[in-house]
Amino acid sequence: MFLKELTELSGVSGCEYEVRNYIKSKLTDMGCEFYVDKLGNIIAHNKGRKNKTIMLAAHMDEVGLIVTNIDSDGFIKFEAVGGIDQRVLNSKPVLVGEKKIPGVIGSKAIHLMSSDEKEKALPIDKMYIDIGTSSKSETEKLVNIGDYVSFKSSYAEFGDNLIKAKALDDRTGCSIILELLSQKLDADFYGVFTVMEEVGLRGAETAAYQLEPDLGLVLEGTVCADMPEVEEHDKSTLIGKGAALSLMDNTTVYDIDLVRSIAKIAEDNNIMYQYRKSAAGGNDAGVIHKTKNGAKAAAISVPCRYIHSPVSVASKKDIESVLLLTKLVILENQKGEKHV
Amino acid sequence: MFNSELMKKLSDCFGPSGREKLIREMIMDEIKGLADEITIDPLGNLIARKKGNGKKILFSAHMDQIGLIVTHVDEKGFLRFANVGGLNAKELLGLRMVFDNGLEGVICQEELKDKEKLKISKLFLDVASTDKEFIKKNFRTGDMCVFKTEYYETDDCVICKAADDRIGCYILIEALKKHPPTENDVYYVFSVQEEVGCRGAKTAGYIIDPDLAIAIDVTATGDTPDGIKMDVKLGGGAAIKLKDNSIITHPVVKDLLTELAEENKIKYQYEILEFGGTDAGPIHTSKEGVPSGVISIPTRNLHTSGEIFNKFDVEECIKLVIATAEKE
Amino acid sequence: MLKEFLFEVCSNHFVSGFEHINGDIIKRYFQPYTDSFEKDKLGSYIFKSSGSSDRKIMLAAHIDEIGLMITKILEGGFLSFISVGGINPASLVAQEVTIYGKDTIFGVIGIKPPHITSEEERKKPHKMKELFIDTGYSKEELEKLVTIGDIATVNREPLSLQGSVISAKAFDDRACVTVMLETAKELKKISHKSNVYFTATAQEETGIRGAKTSSYKIAPDIGIVLDVGFGKTPDMPSDSPELGKGPIVAYGGRLNSKLTKKFVDVCKKYNYPLQYEAVPAITGTDTEALQISRDGIPCILLSIPLRYMHTSVETIDLYDVEITGKAIARFINELDNSDLEEILCF
């Protein structure tokens, strides 16, 4: 499993180099052919029997923060990179910039808040990062405008086969593709580790432009809302209930024949799967399926509770289901029989 | 002469965005033998080509219609759903919907104190069955349904569902039937997934890479009581679009369409739409760019189960498409 | 010369989608400093300054401006309109305009007099649909001169303020087209290896369209995108970028960080002043299209600080324009002598 190491690396959208370097070294270790394209996507090629061009995609980037200003007392102002609910930021440890300067997100103490302020979620512009400096010049020696900030949260296993970490969206996908590449299947596919998914599906578009896939399989960490007091039909996915297959979201109406055929493969092989019961959100499939001539695309995802927060939770069993199902889909498609 | 039978067939055929199989087959059947070459691209666009050595012209009308996608099926026969294309909760309440297998349901709401807060997530589809087995067997997450309404017409107008953009498909089919002798290389594209963001047109535009592109789609009108402020009206003829959110019509294309209309005594009106977009949006920015425009059919009550258009306008649109196909 | 160009180009209109009408002005100024000229099919102007290598560098600044489009001719010679690109309706009240119909027609946008306007009404800003252009003609006369779809712009003579500060409409983004002119002028003086494409892009204000088609056509190795940024005014945070302190360099995911660093290093080496901003995701500039054109274009983004954006009194410091143009020429020259592969490699 690569997941522990992958989640503990920093890789906020647009600043994925730590994750990229890690994956590059693993690919080199396993003797897998790859290159890095102009935007920083890693495109790895597993050669084997081939009927069509298959592109597996998982994004390396994670949501985080970016430094916008340093105030006169040396506190760091920031903006969110990617979709973050501002309420998860209060009182979190973070790492700032390439040097990983530790800091904490501070805000006004509750004692000092007016009753009005207490009623409202604290907006991002009222929070700041404190790295323990006492002046602007002191901070400027360590931090620059434009530095990226990631959550500090270590990988932990708990409960029944559950994992807590940051960036499970989408290091789970990255670790699954690495795992598949290491298996040296006799089936041709490209494993693409994309950049900047969280800020607008940027990397996947240029990767798809280069590969011109017939079939795109996006491996994601996806929204899971199986918490108390959420109604049954609003629980977009359930943790521990297997690989989540997307039907529609804001960026893609998934090819229904393809999705149902993947469900059939899961059923035939006793792999747990579920349909993603939400039409909101989006992922790299949104650009892959409509680049150049177009492609069929599917998204096979790991349900992640508390996604886009430092304490995301996923199930090892679900990760296993996604891995196995993806592998079978690749093998099936490169067999030459018209299954998909 | 308006071909009511064809229009009714087109309007009644099932085909929400991403589920265009049936409508594609229906149109393929309708245009059999008319084109030199018929292809289906990876996203499902139907492309009928009349070959020539001259200018490459792309006409696009979208096959897909708005609808709903089932997100959750409970065993009591209540289906939760999300919208496919632009629909809002208030307009949905109480409507009958139909699936591709012919089964139906009616849209109901949770008891809400504040009706103003009605959202799609508070609606559900009652499929009229208490039989758990029946429900399990027939309804799955991912199924789509569309409005269930009867086609109706008067001497001059039509009320039907999915006029957006089956009327565009109708115009292209009729134009293809009367395709003029010309050196132009003409592509009649019946596109997919327009209602969810003009996705089919993006790939079709890339594949064909035309010299000129014209989308055929519906547009709103300003001729209803206390309606939106625009000059377009039913019976005013083919509408030549000048601007919407997806395109500013290329001046050359505006002039071309205007001249063709005047030369051929086709009644036309200019259209400026303050919202919305069509297939011409992604096509005109494809590759190095494509001079593009839109011929619009004025249509009232858009994105509802009863869209209204005028037959005369449709005839004028067909004439304008043919004139464009012919123009060197 | 820069001011002369900027004033001339801002005294004429280039409303999004109608950039072809006054194109001769741009050609007249750019052609003496460049080797060839072409357009993409949406109407972006591409001037190429040929180099001795295969390398292609694209500079992009949009030539289009926001404007008005006539939607209806009303009784009494009034015209309804919508905006082409984003305009704050409040900035249109009590302006003089020109309508480009069969002839150029003068008009004013007036509002009801205060005497018959309630206290309540006066507190609310106008919406676009509540505003009309008064042409002084009768409806019948006007119909002979104006057609639906004709465009109009606010009249504004460019103004020289104190020092090198100037004000006009459409400095967004013609200030940056002027930056390109300065760069072209500088590059003309030296022999450069890179082929440099000065691109005045069309239709940025309506959805970054010309940058998409022109970058596809050029297929450059790198992109330098130029746009305007918010210059400090009393209502902004105290540490905002200011006029007269050089271009604002953007950091963020849309930009290539190593290429950006190279630009910053070159500026530091030659003492060009710089200011900085972080852009977490969408930049709202031509970068959106360039970065993901074909297999991707590594980009940097430089902004000229500007006050009162999208009004008819956009205000800049010409010093920033000149210094940015020179800095880019220097940057291109330094890139010519460095290993670009090395800079762009991840």
For C246-259, write each residue's pLDDT tens digit.
999 999 999 999 99
Instruction: Identify whether C271 is part of a domain.
Output: yes
Please check the confidence at residue A338 and state whether its pLDDT lies above 50: no
* Residue bearing tokens 């709401």: B109
Count of the separate structural domains present in chain C: 2
The answer as to whether C161 is a domain residue is no
Minimal Cβ distance to B206: which of A248, A256, A292: A292
| C291 and C315 housed in the same domain | yes
Chain B, 176-195: which have a CB under 8 Å from a chain A CB? 193
**Active-site residue, from C182, C186, C204, C314:** C204
Q: Are A69 and C239 within 8 A, CB to CB?
A: yes
Structure confidence by residue, pLDDT tens digits, A252-300: 999 999 999 999 999 999 999 999 999 999 999 999 999 999 999 999 9
Please indicate, yes or no, whether residues C175 and C207 belong to a single structural domain of this protein.
Answer: yes
Predicted pLDDT at A101? 96
Does a structural domain hold residue A339? no
Say which CATH number the domain at C25 has.
3.40.630.10
Closest residue, chain A, to C261 (C-alpha): A146
Token pair 């303050």: residue: B274
Q: Subunits with at least 3 CB pairs below 8 A relative to chain B? A: A, C
Domain boundary among C89, C119, C154: C154
**Domain residues for A7?**
3-62+166-333
In this structure, the answer to whether residues A197 and A311 fall within a common structural domain is yes
Residues of chain B below pLDDT 70 = none
Please state the ipTM of this predicted complex: 0.90
Percentage, residues of chain A above pLDDT 90: 89
Which CATH number goes with the domain that contains A87? 2.40.30.40
Shortest distance, CA B154 to any CA of chain A (angstroms): 36
Residue B254 touches partner C, C-beta closer than 8 Å = yes
Q: Are residues A177 and A314 in the same domain?
A: yes
Q: Are residues A216 and A314 in the same domain?
A: yes
Closest-CA distance, B199 to chain A, in angstroms, reads 7
Write out the CATH class of domain B4-65+161-326.
Answer: alpha beta
Does residue A227 sit in the same domain as residue A317? yes
What is the per-residue pLDDT across A163-182, written as a single tens digit (0 to 9) for each? 999 999 999 999 999 999 99
Residue A176 shares a structural domain with residue A296: yes
CATH code (residue C102): 2.40.30.40
Residue A160 lies in a domain: no
Residue C203 lies in a domain: yes
Say yes or no: C315 and C301 in one domain. yes
Looking only at the bridges linking them, the beta strands covering A273-275 and A243-245 are parallel
C204 is catalytic: yes
Nearest Cα residue to A150 out of A133, A132, A171, A135: A171
* Alpha-carbon gap, residue B248 to B250, rounded angstroms: 6
Look at chain B and count its residues.
328
Contact B141 A275 (CB under 8 A): yes
Chain A residues within 8 Å of chain B (Cβ atoms): 214, 232-234, 247-248, 253-256, 259-260, 275, 277-280, 289-290, 292-296
A49 lies in the same domain as A115: no
| Domain end (from C122, C154, C186) | C154
- Domain presence at residue A196: yes
Query: Between helices A17-29 and A168-182, what is the axis angle to 10°?
Result: 20
Q: How many domains does chain A have?
A: 2
Q: For chain C, positions 238-257, list CB contacts with chain A under 8 A.
A: 239, 250-255, 257
Domain boundary among C104, C119, C154: C154
Which of A125, A151, A177 is the last residue before a domain boundary? Answer: A151
Summarised one tens digit per residue, pLDDT across range B187-231 is 999 999 999 999 999 999 999 999 999 999 999 999 999 888 888
Pair A90, A179 in one domain: no
If pLDDT is split at 50, 70 and 90, which confidence band does A339 have?
Answer: very low
Same-domain check for residues A88 and A236: no
Domain locations in chain B? Answer: 4-65+161-326, 67-147
Residue tagged active-site, from B20, B194, B271, B307: B194
Q: Is residue C33 part of a domain?
A: yes
Superfamily in which the B67-147 domain is placed by CATH: Peptidase M42, domain 2 (2.40.30.40)
Strand order in the sheet with C56-62: C36-39, C45-49, C195-201, C56-62, C222-230, C299-306, C248-251, C275-278
Assign 3-class secondary structure to chain B. CCCHHHHHHHHHCCCECCCCHHHHHHHHHHCCCCCCEEEECCCCCEEEEECCCCCEEEEEEECCECEEEEEEECCCCEEEEEEECCCCHHHHCCCEEEECCCCEEEEEECCCCCHHHCCHHHEEEECCCCCHHHHHHHCCCCCEEEECCCCEECCCEEEECCHHHHHHHHHHHHHHHCCCCCCCEEEEEEECCCCCCCHHHHHHHHHHCCCEEEEEEEECCCCCCCCCCCCCCCCCCEEEEEECCCCECCHHHHHHHHHHHHHCCCCEEEEECCCCCCCHHHHHCCCCCCCEEEEEEEEECCCCCCEEEEHHHHHHHHHHHHHHHHCC
Average pLDDT of chain C to the nearest whole number: 95
Q: Residue A308 sits in a domain of what CATH number? A: 3.40.630.10
Chain C residues with beta carbon closer than 8 angstroms to that of A206: 292, 294-296
Same domain, A54 and A83: no
Residues C119 and C174 in one domain: no
Q: What are phi and psi of B246, to 5 degrees?
A: -100, -15
In the listed set A121, A151, A181, which residue is the last one of a domain according to the structure? A151
C119, C226: one domain: no
Chains with at least 3 CB pairs less than 8 angstroms from chain C: A, B
In chain C, the residue whose alpha carbon lies closest to the alpha carbon of B292 is: C42
The answer to whether C282 contacts A200, with C-beta atoms less than 8 Å apart, is: yes
**Positions of A marked catalytic:** 197
| pLDDT tens digits along A299-309 | 999 999 999 99
Same domain membership, residue A170 and residue A85: no
| A20 domain-assigned | yes
Pairing verdict, β B185-191 and B46-50: antiparallel
Domain match, C116 and C234 both: no
Range of the domain at C74: 67-154
Mutate to test the interface with A, among B72, B141, B198, B208 (most CBs of A within 10 A): B72
In this structure, are C233 and C333 located in the same domain?
yes
Is position C159 within any domain? Answer: no
User: C83: distance to nearest CA of chain B, Å?
Assistant: 9
Find chain C residues with C-beta within 8 A of A79's C-beta. 278, 280
Checking if the pLDDT of A336 tops 70, the result is no
Same domain, A177 and A78: no
Q: Is B179 within 8 Å of chain C by CB?
A: no
Query: Which candidate, C170, C139, C143, places its Cα nearest to that of C156?
Result: C170
Q: Do C320 and C338 fall within a single domain?
A: yes
Q: Is the pLDDT of residue C160 over 60?
A: yes
pLDDT at B257: 98
Contact across the interface for C84 and B287, Cβ inside 8 Å: no
For residue B104, the distance in angstroms to the closest alpha carbon of chain A comes to 20
